[in-house]
C-alpha cells in the first residue's frame, strides 16, 4: 500500500476506533496531505527523519505558525506510530524531531459588561431573536463548543434538573449544569418560537429557518452580528465565549477540576491556562488599587 493508501487507513482508524469528530479528521487529513505533497516518494518505508525536518522548515518559510506546525507534528507522530503498529515501517521517524517551541498564548476573553451587552443584543420580539438569545445564553452558561451547541437534541436538555448533556470530542458525553437565566431563555424558545420553523421529524434543539439544524458557520455569523450590535470591537468567536465562561467561573472562585469537567478537557493542564487569565485580572486590580503598586 502506498503513502496515500496508508493515510486513508489511518484516517479510517481515527474515525472508527477513536471516534474523532469530522473537524478533527479534516485537520488530520490536511496535515498528512501536506506531508504527501512534500516528500518525493510514495513508499512509507522510504521516508526518513530529514523529510519531516524539511517539512517543518518549509512551514517556517511559508509563514506556517509554530502552533500549526506543532499540531502538524502531533498528527505525523500519530500516523507513524500507527505505521509501526501495522508493521509497515520498523521505526517512528518522528521520534527525534523536536516540537516547535510555543509561547504561552493566553486566551482573550470578554469583560462582564461586554457579555451583558451581547446577551441583551438579540431582539426577543422576533422568533429568530428568541432562538438566538437562547443559544447565546446557553453557550455562555455552559461553556459548550459550537459543534456541541448546534448538535444538541431535545432530549439532551433536562430542564427539571437544570443540566445539558452534550457529546464532546472523542465521542465522550458529559453533563453540564445550566443556570436559571439560560434555562428561562431556552424554555421561552421551546414554548413560543421553535415550532415556527421546526419540521415534525426534527429532533435538533435549535433549528434554522429551513427547519433543520443550524450550522457552526451560521452560528458564528449571527454571533459576530450581535457582537457588532453590542459595541464589542474585538473579534468575537464562539470559542472566545467558551474562554469567557471558564475564566469568569475561576474569577468567581470555582474549583479548577469542576471547570475541567464542565469544559470536557481530558487533561487538567489544558484548563489551567484559564487560571493565568484570572490571575492577570487580580494583578490588574492590585495595580489599580494598591497605593504602593
Residue 71: active-site member: no
242 catalytic per annotation:
yes
Report how far residue 225's alpha carbon sits from residue 228's, in angstroms, rounded to the nearest whole number: 5
Catalytic residue among 28, 140, 226, 274: 274
From 137, 145, 240, 248, active-site residue: 145
Which of 117, 169, 224, 251 is catalytic? The answer is 169
Active-site hit among 18, 161, 239, 284: 239
Is 274 known to be catalytic? yes
**Residue of 34, 81, 265, 281 marked active site:** 265
Secondary structure string (H, E, C) spanning the chain: CCHHHHHHHHHHHHHHCCCCCHHHHHHHHHHHHHHHHHCCCCCHHHCCHHHHHHHHHHHHHCCCCHHHHHHHHHHHHHHHHHHHHCCCCCCCCCCCCCCCCCCCCCCCCCCHHHHHHHHHCCCCCCHHHHHHHHHHHHHHHHCCCHHHHHCCEHHHEECCCCEEEEECHHHCEEEEECCHHHHHHHHHHHHHCHHHCCCCCCCECCECCCCCECCHHHHHHHHHHHHHHCCCCCCCCHHHHHHHHHHHHHHCCCCHHHHHHHHCCCCHHHHHHHHHHHHHHHHHHHHHHCCCC
The candidate with the shortest Cα–Cα distance to 244, out of 189, 281, 218, 282, is: 281
Given 131, 240, 242, 243, the catalytic residue: 242
* Region label for 286, one of left (φ > 0), alpha (ψ between -120 and 50) or beta (otherwise): alpha
281 is catalytic: no
C-alpha cell at 15: 474515525
Is residue 169 part of the annotated active site? The answer reads yes
Active site residues: 145, 169, 239, 242, 265, 274
Amino acid at each position: 500500500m502506498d503513502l496515500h493508501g496508508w493515510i486513508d487507513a489511518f484516517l479510517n482508524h481515527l474515525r472508527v476506533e477513536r471516534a474523532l469528530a469530522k473537524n478533527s479528521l479534516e485537520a488530520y487529513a490536511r496535515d498528512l496531505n501536506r506531508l504527501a505533497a512534500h516528500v518525493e516518494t510514495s513508499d512509507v518505508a522510504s521516508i526518513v527523519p530529514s523529510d519531516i525536518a524539511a517539512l517543518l522548515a518549509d512551514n517556517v518559510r511559508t509563514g506556517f505558525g509554530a502552533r500549526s506546525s506543532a499540531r502538524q507534528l502531533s498528527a505525523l507522530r500519530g500516523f507513524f506510530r500507527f505505521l509501526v503498529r501495522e508493521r509497515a515501517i520498523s521505526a517512528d521517524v518522528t521520534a527525534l524531531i523536536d516540537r516547535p517551541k510555543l509561547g504561552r498564548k493566553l486566551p482573550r476573553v470578554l469583560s462582564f459588561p461586554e457579555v451583558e451587552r451581547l446577551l441583551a443584543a438579540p431582539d426577543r420580539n422576533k422568533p429568530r431573536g428568541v432562538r438566538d438569545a437562547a443559544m447565546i445564553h446557553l453557550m455562555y452558561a455552559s461553556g459548550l463548543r459550537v459543534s456541541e451547541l448546534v448538535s444538541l437534541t431535545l432530549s439532551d436538555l433536562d430542564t427539571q434538573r437544570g443540566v445539558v448533556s452534550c457529546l464532546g470530542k472523542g465521542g465522550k458525553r458529559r453533563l453540564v449544569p445550566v443556570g436559571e437565566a439560560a434555562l428561562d431563555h431556552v424554555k421561552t424558545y421551546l414554548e413560543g418560537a421553535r415550532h415556527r420553523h421546526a419540521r415534525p421529524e426534527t429532533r435538533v434543539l435549535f433549528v434554522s429557518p429551513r427547519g433543520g439544524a443550524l450550522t457552526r458557520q451560521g452560528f458564528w455569523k449571527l454571533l459576530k452580528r450581535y457582537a457588532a450590535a453590542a459595541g464589542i470591537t474585538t473579534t468575537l468567536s464562539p470559542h472566545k465565549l467558551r474562554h469567557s465562561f471558564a475564566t469568569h467561573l475561576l474569577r468567581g472562585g470555582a474549583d479548577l477540576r469542576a471547570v475541567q469537567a464542565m469544559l470536557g478537557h481530558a487533561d487538567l493542564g489544558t484548563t489551567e491556562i484559564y487560571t493565568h487569565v484570572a490571575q492577570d485580572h487580580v494583578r490588574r486590580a492590585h495595580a489599580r488599587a494598591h497605593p504602593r503598586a
